[in-house]
Structure 1
Amino acid sequence: MNRNAARQALDVLVAEPGATQLLVRHREEPPSRVPDGPAVPGQLIVSISERARQVPAFLAALPTLLGELPDGVESVWIGLPGLAGDPAGAQLLAKELELDVVAPDGPFLDPEAGRYAGHGTGGTGWWRFRADGPAGFAGLRCPSPRWEALVPRTTVTVDATTVVDPVPAGLYARTVGAPAVDRADVAFSVPFDGRFPKVVVGGGDATPSPASIATVLNRLADGDPLLVPMTAEVTDHIWQAELALRTGRDVRFASGVPLGPVPSCVLTAEGKSLFQPFPTVLRQTAGGGDQHVLDIAPPPAGWTRSGPRSYRLGDGDTAVFADVVPSGLVLRAASAECAAEVAPFDPTGWTLQLGNAGDPVGVRLLVATERLLAALDPGRRAVVRVRVAGTLDEQAAAVLHRMSAGVQPAGRAPSVASGPARPSAPAPQAPVQPRVQQAPAQPQQAPVQQPPAPAKPAAPPRPAGALDPRLLSAPPSIAMMSTSPVSTVSEPPRAVEEAPAEPDITEFVPPPAPVEPEPVAPEPAEAEPVAEEVPEEEPVEQAPVAEEPEPVPSQPTGEQEPLKPLVLADRPSTSAEQARFAAAAGDAFSEALATVNAALAAWPSMRQGDTSDAKADYVAVCLYLGRGEASAAQLNGAVRAGQKGGLDGQLQCLVSGIRRLPTHRRAVLRQGKVGESLEHASTPGTLLSEPGFLTASMDLDVTVPGADLDVLIWPASARRTSELMVSRPMNEVVFAAGARFKALAVRTAAEGEEETEEGEEGPAAPRVAVLFRELAPGEQPDTELDERDLAVLAKLDQVLARRQQATLRLVEDPDVAARLTTSLVEWQPDVAEELSGHTVGASR
């Protein structure tokens, strides 16, 4: 090399060592921070400023600039674009340094992108030149992360539908028809992390399937990859649960908003970020169940981080905590338990929940809520849903009552989750104002200044520093809260909700849905509220929507007539019914939704039609097989009495949910008590019915405590719940509402016939059994046994013989036992025509 040129270069170049790297800059450039990074044993990284690269004879001066290298250095990575494009010069430098020289053959990205020099940059990567050997490929990034060898150097086809491209953070997965990425693509802006590769899932017009991405993640399993969704579909819990089931491992995923450009699912129409989620990294469990928060965003102003997934306001016993859960934040007192993680992540909005179920919610928590809302950025404020899950104490209830009486409607509130379907991401143009509902006795007036709330003898005084009334003028605020249970899954917002007769606190009113082709007219500023009509649902083709009869009242005097049971229309549920059911079920809906999501991920065949519609219907089945006011005992009792009972919309969703379940065509088991169960008194040809929803066991090797009667049924409308409800004491079926059953025979085993073989353990089958056949929809009953009855009877006798020789297992769950032993009712001639016309729709 030219010594004079090298000497001139040394006069204008300066080498500044850092902790793990070395920076070469022009002498006239101001000192700058030396790029830092993890130290790699045996490697020295040399960064070169833009002006230093333009100095003639730079390479000739480089050995002198490096000076005496630290002990143990075996290779020098030189950040000079295109240096490897001149193999002779790079080889000569390696001989002079007597070290391996690693350089790129084209441009490379900045250190934050891992100095990526591969596919999409105009080069092929970093190349290694040895003093006494041939050059070889060194990697796409500098320095090479430990997972470098797991990712390909060029575009690779995964299957017939999906390909992957190398990007700085790891891999970009797209469908075959989507364009390849380059350095201008959003996937190149996903931050690089040397600890693990990231799989960015995009797609263009289509999104890669969970099966394709599972193949990619399995190949990267040793690198503990992180999934980065760039489309709304990939953030969906069902999609991610199916992916986890297919990989057989937990899947980590970013919340869909990487630093820099963000995915379209959280962008406004102008391309601005809608909101930054509080959870930043989550884990989807391998079994397809709940999601768990692994990392969280920086705390809001005035709050500090406390622990792995919480923020704190204040100290000591008076502190308030905000636990980060997949669906948003849960505020709680210091004495309350950390929030559970049930509801899944939603990229279009988040929920601010006050307390957990059963927790007291006091004024201090309301003050913390106001401070939190006031500290949020506009993007987060625009898509928040606020709800109370705990129990308001007297002071908090009084404060909210005064607030609800004084807040005036102004503009539109953010949408409240109120149903099973997810809305598209809203695009607010300006800070939103809460629109509230008032009691009919308090008509809306023109906006006026809020007078001080009058003192009420029954309401306790507001403690000092509790809730500043001035905060009410800074919406969205606590004035938007609702104590009505709200699902974490939402539907396209309806125009207006019917106001309660005596509201205790202010409630959200969702913004109106867009109406085509006419625009939504502005609300008139009149003293009296103007009612808005809810658009009618699309007509259902499968079956006409029949109105369920109102409950028949008891006779006030004299002899009371028996109540006529409800005859439920066999039809799909409507979106309005699903929304009412989701809102009425509240937390129970959210908890059951995790079960439904896991089932839909495990059984793609259950996703028939609109998946969001199916979720609400399946949740109704889960709650029916659970406990509380939505359970089988409560619901069937109401239906038998001619009352709708249960939760608003549940009956319609339950009928629809049963229609969706797979059909079961083999014998099922129920039980009872001899002398008490109506089934035992049934002679051949007797007709019994269940106006509600009858359950039975698919498993024929079970018995419940106290049962001394078997009821074996050959079904016609039974639907399996085993795909939906896993890990249950037994697998159950549910018969369609209004099912009718014809008694075929009563069998009594001789003494000793029911005994199990010597040495076997476990209970034996009861000695008495009653055999039934379910009548087909529309079948006209006959008190005599026909050929169909005799054929079924022969099959049931075979089932009974096997059961009475088997060792049974005892199922002691009281709820299961109650569902299995509830007696049928007598077939009522006055409702026979309606029941016989009941039709069971095919699974959708």
Structure 2
Amino acid sequence: MTEHDPDAASSPTVSRAGDRIHLVHHQGNRPPHWLTELAGRLSPARPGEAVVVVGAPLHEDGAEALCTWLAPSLDSIRDAQVRLLTLVMSAGALESGGHPSAAALICERWGLDVLAAAGTALVTSDGTLFSPDLPGASGGWWHFSPGAEARRVNSHLPLPDWELAVRRLGRQTVAGHVVEPVPAGLAVRPAGPAPVIAHTRPHTIPPERDRPQLILASAQVPAAVLAVVMGALPKPVRAALRLVTLDGQPLLRLGEELADLLDGDVQVAVGAPVAPAGTTPDGASAGDAAVELWMTDLRGRPSWRPFARTAVCSPESVTRATSVRAPRVTEWQAPANCSELMDSEDCKAVVTPAGLWLGPRDVEPPLLALFRPPTAEAVAVDLGVPGRPLADCLWPGLDTLLGRLEPDVLERVVVHAYGDLGTEDRERLLEFSARHRFSMAS
């Protein structure tokens, strides 16, 4: 529904995306899909509150112009007895050239409390507001109230349940490593000189409501240091926490060492956090805080998105009874639903840290497949189990998988075949390799 659509071609359009949710976008009757999707994460507005999401760029007189274009909407918001307006707009709380911010003008003229970002205004996948607060730069969300000074609230809202426990730790040094709270949880880096990215990148990773992250500058941080940090957290927060590293190197071995020291499960991320291109369209005043896990090379360049997102490492005391100790993948984003890969009651597909395993339904993946660390260079596809011939039901699933992979992922596939391969199996693998152009493990 379009609320205001003036004649001037350069003027923005104000649309309504829901009850008390308003969108400012380029001239036209329909807001772009990315903007409505962003607004959908903030819907519905809570009683007594309203939301304005600004998707169009504003010029030098942006604050005044925005007030002009929003006037009908702001009048209706005020008449509806709204107490708080959330202005999702980059620099909405920032004065410019001696002129009041958009948030300050709206607060003064309409008598509303306004929540706005001093830096980039982002929305996470679960609807959390995020504005990175980098050293030496404006950021964070600010609260404006009529007749009062604006006050900084936080870099992200609402505050997750784990926030207080993390902030209580404060900034400290543990065995030559600096530990400090960041929006997503805690960051750990070696004390002393470090690349700029080690200081700034942890502040740009958006938080998750359900769990804090322990962000490591590299996978070389000693497990004993992390055990001290995690041991200082309340047990529920410690159990929810996930390790993630900026260099993208495998964390499984570190996770096992840490699990033994803490005598409890430890969650580790597979891959490094990378912000995908296009999360904030050119010129837009609001954006997506999406971060995806990618395998990265030694120069930090993304190569492919691992199917596994989170693996759990258990302590030896827990796994001693079964004599099997292997990480368990608990979150994944496979290229196809694993159950769809196998149109058979005899075979199954399982996501592993390094890729995917296809095999008989009555057995578990071989330990070699479960322990293989993920790498930037290879996507491991494991077939079958030692001591048994490859089942006929594996071939349709393998064909489906390879047909759904993106070209940049397919070129990294390395197939590991276990068990007794007959002449027909070898010929079929060679035929698949030629058709789909993947590599075979030697």
TM-score (norm 1): 0.39
How many residues are matched? 391
Partner of 1:398: 423
Partner of 2:343: 315
Unpaired segments ≥5 residues, structure 1: 1-6, 404-466, 482-507, 509-844
Alpha-carbon spacing, 1:222–1:69, altered in 2? closer, same or farther (3 Å): farther
The AA in structure 2 aligned to 1:48 is V
Counterpart among 348, 373, 382 of residue 353 in structure 1: 382
Residues 1:102 and 2:115 are matched in the alignment: yes
Partner of 2:416: 386
Please report how far the alpha carbon of residue 182 of structure 1 lies from its aligned counterpart in structure 2 after TM superposition. Answer: 6.4
Cα RMSD (Å) of the superposition?
A: 4.5
Partner of 2:23: 23
Partner of 1:226: 242
The AA in structure 2 aligned to 1:49 is G
2:133 partner SS: coil
Structure 1 CA distance for aligned equivalents of residues 169 and 120 of structure 2:
16
Please report how far the alpha carbon of residue 107 of structure 1 lies from its aligned counterpart in structure 2 after TM superposition. Answer: 1.7
1:94 partner SS: helix
Partner of 1:68: 76
Partner of 1:41: 46
Q: Is the Cα–Cα contact under 8 Å of residues 161 and 208 in structure 1 kept in the other structure?
A: no
2:258 partner SS: helix
2:371 partner SS: coil
Unpaired segments ≥5 residues, structure 2: 1-5, 277-290, 318-324
2:253 partner SS: helix
**Cα deviation digits, residues 499-523 of structure 1 (max 9, x gap):** xxxxxxxxx2xxxxxxxxxxxxxxx
Q: Is the Cα–Cα contact under 8 Å of residues 155 and 163 in structure 1 kept in the other structure?
A: no
Partner of 1:159: 174
Higher relative contact order (CA 8 A, sep 6+): 2
The AA in structure 1 aligned to 2:86 is W
Please report how far the alpha carbon of residue 324 of structure 1 lies from its aligned counterpart in structure 2 after TM superposition. Answer: 1.3
The AA in structure 2 aligned to 1:353 is D
Structure 1 CA distance for aligned equivalents of residues 63 and 303 of structure 2:
49
Structure 2 CA distance for aligned equivalents of residues 51 and 400 of structure 1:
59
Partner of 1:51: 57
Residues 1:331 and 2:338 are matched in the alignment: no
1:258 partner SS: strand
TM-score (norm 2): 0.69
Pairing of 1:315-464 with structure 2 (within 5 A): 315-317=343-345, 320-333=347-360, 335-337=361-363, 339=365, 343-344=370-371, 346-348=373-375, 349=378, 351-357=380-386, 361-366=390-395, 368-369=397-398, 372-373=401-402, 376=405, 377-379=407-409, 381-382=411-412, 384=414, 386-389=416-419, 392=420, 397-400=422-425, 403=427
Q: Is the Cα–Cα contact under 8 Å of residues 330 and 353 in structure 1 kept in the other structure?
A: yes
Partner of 2:329: 293
Q: Is the Cα–Cα contact under 8 Å of residues 278 and 296 in structure 1 kept in the other structure?
A: yes
Q: Is the Cα–Cα contact under 8 Å of residues 267 and 312 in structure 2 kept in the other structure?
A: yes
Please report how far the alpha carbon of residue 169 of structure 1 lies from its aligned counterpart in structure 2 after TM superposition. Answer: 3.8
**Cα deviation digits, residues 594-646 of structure 1 (max 9, x gap):** xxxxxxxxxxxxxxxxxxxxxxxxxxxxxxxxxxxxxxxxxxxxxxxxxxxxx
1:66 partner SS: helix
Structure 2 CA distance for aligned equivalents of residues 25 and 15 of structure 1:
7
Please report how far the alpha carbon of residue 354 of structure 1 lies from its aligned counterpart in structure 2 after TM superposition. Answer: 2.5
Please report how far the alpha carbon of residue 386 of structure 1 lies from its aligned counterpart in structure 2 after TM superposition. Answer: 0.4
Alpha-carbon spacing, 1:139–1:340, altered in 2? closer, same or farther (3 Å): farther
Please report how far the alpha carbon of residue 120 of structure 1 lies from its aligned counterpart in structure 2 after TM superposition. Answer: 4.1
Pairing of 1:183-262 with structure 2 (within 5 A): 187=202, 190=205, 192-203=207-218, 207-217=220-230, 218-219=232-233, 222-223=236-237, 224-231=240-247, 235-260=250-275
Structure 2 CA distance for aligned equivalents of residues 49 and 168 of structure 1:
24
Q: Is the Cα–Cα contact under 8 Å of residues 241 and 285 in structure 1 kept in the other structure?
A: yes
Alpha-carbon spacing, 1:351–1:55, altered in 2? closer, same or farther (3 Å): closer
Q: Is the Cα–Cα contact under 8 Å of residues 141 and 168 in structure 1 kept in the other structure?
A: yes
**Cα deviation digits, residues 396-447 of structure 1 (max 9, x gap):** 623146x3xxxxxxxxxxxxxxxxxxxxxxxxxxxxxxxxxxxxxxxxxxxx
The AA in structure 2 aligned to 1:25 is H
Structure 1 CA distance for aligned equivalents of residues 29 and 185 of structure 2:
34
The AA in structure 2 aligned to 1:294 is T
Pairing of 1:706-745 with structure 2 (within 5 A): none
Moved more, 160-169 or 147-156: 147-156
**Cα deviation digits, residues 458-515 of structure 1 (max 9, x gap):** xxxxxxxxx497435347669x46xxxxxxxxxxxxxxxxxxxxxxxxxx2xxxxxxx
Alpha-carbon spacing, 1:100–1:160, altered in 2? closer, same or farther (3 Å): farther
Pairing of 1:768-787 with structure 2 (within 5 A): none
Residues 1:79 and 2:93 are matched in the alignment: no
The AA in structure 1 aligned to 2:14 is A
**Cα deviation digits, residues 330-354 of structure 1 (max 9, x gap):** 2124x53454778335132554332
Q: Is the Cα–Cα contact under 8 Å of residues 293 and 305 in structure 2 kept in the other structure?
A: no
The AA in structure 2 aligned to 1:22 is H
The AA in structure 2 aligned to 1:78 is L
Q: Is the Cα–Cα contact under 8 Å of residues 215 and 245 in structure 2 kept in the other structure?
A: yes
Q: Is the Cα–Cα contact under 8 Å of residues 119 and 154 in structure 1 kept in the other structure?
A: no
Structure 1 CA distance for aligned equivalents of residues 349 and 157 of structure 2:
40
Q: Is the Cα–Cα contact under 8 Å of residues 166 and 172 in structure 1 kept in the other structure?
A: yes
**Cα deviation digits, residues 669-695 of structure 1 (max 9, x gap):** xxxxxxxxxxxxxxxxxxxxxxxxxxx
Alpha-carbon spacing, 1:281–1:19, altered in 2? closer, same or farther (3 Å): farther
Please report how far the alpha carbon of residue 47 of structure 1 lies from its aligned counterpart in structure 2 after TM superposition. Answer: 1.9
1:473 partner SS: helix
**Cα deviation digits, residues 139-181 of structure 1 (max 9, x gap):** 1025544544455599823425222456554443211224475
Structure 1 CA distance for aligned equivalents of residues 115 and 328 of structure 2:
42
Q: Is the Cα–Cα contact under 8 Å of residues 164 and 173 in structure 1 kept in the other structure?
A: yes
Please report how far the alpha carbon of residue 186 of structure 1 lies from its aligned counterpart in structure 2 after TM superposition. Answer: 5.1
Alpha-carbon spacing, 1:16–1:361, altered in 2? closer, same or farther (3 Å): same
Alpha-carbon spacing, 1:384–1:66, altered in 2? closer, same or farther (3 Å): same
1:346 partner SS: coil
Q: Is the Cα–Cα contact under 8 Å of residues 412 and 438 in structure 2 kept in the other structure?
A: no
1:57 partner SS: helix
Partner of 1:473: 434
Partner of 1:118: 133
Partner of 1:445: none
Q: Is the Cα–Cα contact under 8 Å of residues 13 and 28 in structure 2 kept in the other structure?
A: no
Alpha-carbon spacing, 1:69–1:148, altered in 2? closer, same or farther (3 Å): farther
Structure 1 CA distance for aligned equivalents of residues 205 and 410 of structure 2:
22
Alpha-carbon spacing, 1:59–1:258, altered in 2? closer, same or farther (3 Å): closer
